[in-house]
Amino acid sequence: MFEKTNRMNLLFDFYQELLTTKQKAYVSFYYLDDYSLGEIAEEFEVSRQAIYDNIKRTEESLEKYEEKLGMLKKYQQREKLFSQLETQLTKKNFLDEQVKETLEQLKNID
C-alpha cells in the first residue's frame, strides 16, 4: 500500500492541474492527508461509495496521463542519473561546493 500511496502522491504532484476541483480535493484528502473514505464522505456530505468511485476514476486518469506524458518516468530517470553523476564525481574528488550547488540547481528546475 505504501508504494501505491507514494506513486499516487508523485502522480498527483505532476498532474494535479489536469484534475477537476473535486478530484483534487478527494485525492488530496485521501492520499496526502490520510483521511478515510468515511471522513471524506462526511466532509463533503456524499456517500462513501461516491468518494471511492471518484478516487478510483482519478487514479485511472492519473495513470493515463503518466502513460501519455511520462513526466514521472522522466523525473525518476533524471534523479537516477543525478545520483550516479554525484557518486562518480565524489569518487574522483571533483565534487566541490560549486559542483554541488550546480547539481542542486539542476535538480530543482521545474
Residue ranges of domains in the chain: 1-69, 73-108
In this structure, whether the domain defined by 1-69 belongs to CATH 1.10.10.10 is answered with yes
What cell does 70 get? 511520462
Cβ-contact 9, 32 below 8 angstroms = yes
CA distance 31 to 102: 33
pLDDT at 110: 65
pLDDT at 105: 84
Cβ-contact 72, 10 below 8 angstroms = yes
Contacts of 107 (CB under 8 A, 6+ apart): 78, 79, 82
- Over the stretch 60-80, which tens digit does the pLDDT of each residue have? 999 999 999 999 999 999 889
pLDDT under 70: residue ranges of the chain: 94-95, 110
Task: Enter the DSSP assignment of 68.
Answer: H
CA distance 102 to 108: 10
